[in-house]
């Protein structure tokens, strides 16, 4: 790609006609909120930019900001630092406030849906959501039926993935309600930019994110079933071999809560205790970062060595809170996703502020045949998988891959949904002495406690490979610091 040269010889990204360019308008002019970014990099030589990017990569390595990448072509998983790009993504204040309202509305409706599904099931009786999508859902937990969750909050923390199409309109791509990841990369990205790119950072009025950790802690504290002013909270991790273990340690340290594995906890008298050197200490809230299946071998998978035997009995007895609640996965299933706009109208009597990507349920014969006739144009996803796994991206797939997916769809149509290929917006990243456009999305984090808080900006994820639409860290994606401008 031919890029224009600045005064000092550093190439900068030009607008890409086929996609919405976050930095440039359709005429190739820099958008006003990126003007200071342009000026900063025009004053920078390629050598200086390369040193700045290298310093940021070194800081990621020094702080151990890693992710385990599972490559089917490799015998062993690869632990690596997250690719971090020094060019921030900038969101104007008015644009963010509109997104914020839509995110609060969406998570509120999803929580209402979970409460309804596990209690009266009005939305199923009224035929808004097909009952079979619930009872046959692998994430539906009958053990949660009629169970009163603390404060009625099923999703203390939610990760909502947003994308923009070629016109710049935002769409919700996916809801992540079980144990969304990415918090640590959001906070550490901000820390690195403040330390190593101070002249750019302090040239903008940026909304801070540090206080969001206090909101996170407050949301967990309000779940406590006891009236203690300082309840004991434990982050339950699968252990150091988990791909997001860095995040687990980071959040536990920053919020001042206990980091535990299943073997550190014991259930006695329907209460949960942590083993310490001085004896047992009662746990009030478990922030779990393990899947439902492994949470309690007495309630779910009996072969699990990661969870705590009896924790569900303690939960039912009201002696411990679990965030996010077991069974929340039924609401972030990709087939259920198609009904979220209906949930907003049904529970809140409001029009959705954020749109879904148009989605086809392949369990419906007419929609299935339509998709199969256009499979090379579609993105097909397995309803129960996340992280970029189990996908077909039609425009970049081979004929063999398309044929293989067609067979899978015909064999198990209810396991898949399909969406038209959205032309994700692009933003410039630094590469080899210049800037090149790469596709991005935005994971927004919503924290629900006594109040609802949306972390300003969230985490921008980047598809580091040219032309790739897969931004997930598990598939080699990178991150950018995301700045919401203050008023």
Cα distances from 381 to residues 27, 170, 384, in angstroms, run 35, 20, 9
| pLDDT of 78 higher than 80 | no
| pLDDT of 76 higher than 80 | no
Average pLDDT over every residue of 100-120? 98
pLDDT for 71 equals 55
pLDDT for 3 equals 38
Handedness of CA 270, 273, 275, 281 (dihedral sign): negative
DSSP class of residue 247?
H
130: which 2 tokens?
A: 């097909």
Average pLDDT over every residue of 301-316? 96
Contacts of 119 (CB under 8 A, 6+ apart): 145, 146
pLDDT for 422 equals 86
Q: Euclidean distance between the first and final Cα of the chain, in Å? A: 37
| pLDDT of 387 higher than 70 | no
Residue predicted with more confidence, 163 or 16: 163
Distance, in Å, from the CA atom of 109 to the CA atom of 20, rounded to the nearest integer, reads 30
| pLDDT of 297 higher than 90 | yes
* Residue 302 banded pLDDT, cuts 50, 70, 90: very high
Render pLDDT for 235-288 as a digit per residue (tens, 0 to 9): 999 998 888 899 999 999 999 999 999 999 999 999 999 999 999 999 999 999
Render pLDDT for 45-70 as a digit per residue (tens, 0 to 9): 888 888 999 998 888 888 777 666 55
| pLDDT of 395 higher than 90 | no
DSSP class of residue 206?
B
Contacts of 359 (CB under 8 A, 6+ apart): 334, 337, 338, 417, 418, 419
Average pLDDT over every residue of 322-326? 98
Q: Mean pLDDT for the chain?
A: 90
pLDDT for 289 equals 97
Name the pTM for this structure: 0.92
Residue predicted with more confidence, 314 or 14: 314
pLDDT for 425 equals 94
* Residue 299 banded pLDDT, cuts 50, 70, 90: very high
pLDDT for 57 equals 87
Distance, in Å, from the CA atom of 211 to the CA atom of 191, rounded to the nearest integer, reads 13
Residue-wise burial string across 393-423, b where 16 or more C-beta atoms lie within 10 A, e elsewhere: bbeebeeeebeebeeebeeebbbbbbbbebb
Render pLDDT for 427-481 as a digit per residue (tens, 0 to 9): 999 887 788 899 999 999 999 999 999 999 999 999 988 888 777 766 678 899 9
Burial of 125 (0-12, 13-18, 19+ CB in 10 A): exposed
pLDDT for 96 equals 98
Render pLDDT for 127-179 as a digit per residue (tens, 0 to 9): 999 999 999 899 999 999 999 999 999 999 999 999 999 999 999 999 999 99
pLDDT for 2 equals 37
Average pLDDT over every residue of 22-31? 91
Cα distances from 145 to residues 287, 302, 319, in angstroms, run 21, 20, 18
| pLDDT of 7 higher than 50 | no
Question: Is residue 476 left, alpha or beta, with left meaning phi > 0 and alpha meaning psi from -120 to 50?
Answer: left
Average pLDDT over every residue of 312-333? 96
């Amino acid at each position: 790609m031919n890029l224009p040269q600045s005064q000092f010889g550093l190439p900068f990204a030009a607008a890409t006609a086929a996609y919405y360019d976050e930095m440039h308008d359709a005429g190739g002019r820099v958008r006003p909120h990126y003007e200071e970014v342009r000026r900063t990099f025009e004053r920078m030589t390629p050598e200086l930019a390369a040193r700045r990017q290298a310093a940021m990569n070194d800081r990621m390595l020094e702080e151990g900001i890693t992710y385990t990448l599972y490559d089917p072509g490799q015998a062993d998983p690869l632990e690596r630092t997250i690719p971090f790009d020094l060019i921030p993504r900038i969101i104007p204040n008015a644009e963010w406030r509109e997104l914020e309202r839509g995110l609060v509305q969406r998570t509120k409706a999803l929580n209402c849906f979970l409460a309804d599904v596990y209690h009266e099931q009005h939305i199923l009786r009224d035929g808004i959501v097909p009952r079979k999508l619930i009872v046959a859902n692998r994430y539906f937990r009958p053990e949660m039926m009629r169970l009163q969750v603390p404060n009625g909050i099923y999703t203390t923390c939610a990760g909502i993935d947003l994308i923009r199409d070629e016109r710049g309109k935002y769409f919700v791509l996916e809801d992540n309600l079980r144990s969304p990841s990415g918090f640590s990369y959001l906070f550490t990205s901000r820390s690195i930019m403040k330390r190593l790119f101070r002249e750019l950072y302090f040239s903008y009025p940026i909304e801070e994110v540090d206080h969001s950790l206090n909101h996170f802690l407050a949301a967990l504290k309000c779940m406590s079933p006891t009236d203690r002013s300082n309840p004991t909270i434990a982050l339950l991790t699968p252990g150091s071999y988990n791909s997001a273990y860095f995040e687990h340690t980071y959040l536990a340290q920053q919020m001042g809560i206990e980091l535990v594995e299943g073997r550190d906890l014991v259930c006695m008298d329907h209460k949960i205790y942590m083993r310490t050197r001085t004896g047992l200490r009662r746990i009030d809230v478990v922030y779990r970062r393990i899947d439902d299946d492994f949470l309690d071998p007495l309630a779910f998978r009996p072969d699990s060595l990661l969870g705590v035997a009896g924790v569900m009995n303690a939960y039912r007895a009201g002696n411990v809170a679990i965030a996010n609640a077991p069974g929340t996965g039924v609401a972030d299933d990709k087939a259920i996703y198609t009904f979220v706009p209906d949930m907003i109208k049904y529970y809140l009597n409001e029009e959705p502020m954020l749109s879904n990507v148009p989605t086809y349920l392949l369990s419906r014969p007419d929609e299935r045949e339509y998709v199969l006739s256009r499979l090379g144009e579609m993105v097909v996803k397995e309803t129960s998988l996340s992280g970029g796994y189990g996908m077909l991206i039609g425009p970049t797939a081979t004929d063999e891959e398309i044929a293989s997916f067609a067979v899978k769809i015909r064999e198990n149509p209810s396991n898949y949904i399909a969406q038209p290929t959205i032309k994700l917006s692009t933003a410039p990243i630094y590469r080899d002495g210049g800037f090149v456009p790469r596709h991005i999305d935005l994971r927004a984090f919503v924290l629900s406690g006594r109040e609802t808080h949306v972390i300003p900006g969230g985490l921008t994820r980047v598809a580091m490979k040219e032309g790739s639409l897969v931004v997930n860290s598990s598939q080699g994606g990178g991150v950018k610091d995301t700045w919401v401008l203050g008023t």
